[in-house]
Structure 1
Amino acid sequence: MAIEDITAQTDRELKPALLRGWRRQCPSCGQGPMFSGYLTVRDECPVCHEPMSHHRADDGPAYLTILIVGHLMAPLLLWTFFEFEPDPLVVATIFTVGCVALSLYLLPRLKGAVVALQWAKRMHGFKDSPAPSVNG
């Protein structure tokens, strides 16, 4: 394999792909929607026909969601409880709703970013897909 072939296979930019994935758009063209449901990744992009059925996001997005929500909400919960000394039931109710809402917001965005990372790094079946079109 020539050096040109290796560079042609690794020329996918990571940052734009991650931003497209965060927006839940196709990491290749940025036009088509990545999901057909809340977390169901389409088999292929409806715009550029980039195959996405072979992604392997698995538990990564859920793990990242728990990590982020836990690190944001736990210190805030402790600070609120000790600073204002509210009723524990009120704190539990407010922070439960907050944790659920933040988790529901982050989960599809992080899954899109994980799929986009796999696309940009040519992981799993993405290594065989063609290079993105320049004019798309």
Structure 2
Amino acid sequence: MNNEDKVHWPPVDPFGAGLKGRCPRCGEGRLFSGFLTVAPRCGVCRLDYSFADAGDGPAVFVILIIGFVVVGLALWMEVTLNPPLWLHFLLWIPLTIALCLTALRLIKGVLITLQYRNKAAEGRLDRPE
């Protein structure tokens, strides 16, 4: 982010923009061109999204959060109701898939907008000349 960004574009809430899948600079353009595919650039302010690399971060957060919720609910249901195994499969597999896909897009959007806001880049070593 350079001085041009601060002059022409008001600050955008990274969490709001990320959850809505909007551009981290203007808050208007689309961040995604597909379900999880990041667009090449913003259609409104023309920000190049080549900086966007969420890596494995969103997947890790989704696994930890959704896994905790689903396993906790499945264990609670097993202990209190003792349903047949087929009912567990019928409930928890579709719920896990739906929650994971939804959370993955939301978390990926937030991580990319936070990357932009915090000027995150690949680590480099400063070597004396």
Q: Is the 1:61–1:111 contact (alpha carbons within 8 Å) kept by the matching residues of 2? A: yes
The structural deviation recorded for 1:32 is 0.7
Separation in structure 1 between the aligned mates of residue 46 and residue 18 of structure 2, nearest angstrom? 16
2:49 corresponds in structure 1 to 52
**TM-score, normalised with respect to structure 1:** 0.78
Using the TM superposition, give the Cα deviation of residue 54 of structure 1 relative to its aligned residue in structure 2, in angstroms: 2.1
CA RMSD of aligned residues (A): 1.9
1:66 is aligned with what amino acid? I
- Which runs of 5 or more residues in structure 1 are unaligned? 126-136
Q: Is 2:3 aligned against 1:23?
A: no
Q: Which amino acid aligns with 1:122?
A: K
Q: Taking CA–CA contacts closer than 8 Å with sequence separation of 6 or more, which of the two structures ends up with the larger relative contact order?
A: 1
Question: Secondary structure of the equivalent of 1:124?
Answer: coil
The one-letter amino acid paired with 1:24 is G
Aligned residue number for residue 88 of structure 1: 85
Q: Which runs of 4+ in 1 moved over 6 A?
A: none
Q: Given the two structures, how large is their TM-score scaled by the length of structure 2?
A: 0.82
Matched, 1:35 2:27: no
Q: Contact conserved, 1:26 with 1:32, CA < 8 A, in 2?
A: yes
Q: Which residue of 2 aligns with 1:102?
A: 99
CA distance in 2, matches of 1:55, 1:38: 15
Flag structure 2 segments of 5+ consecutive residues without an equivalent: 123-129
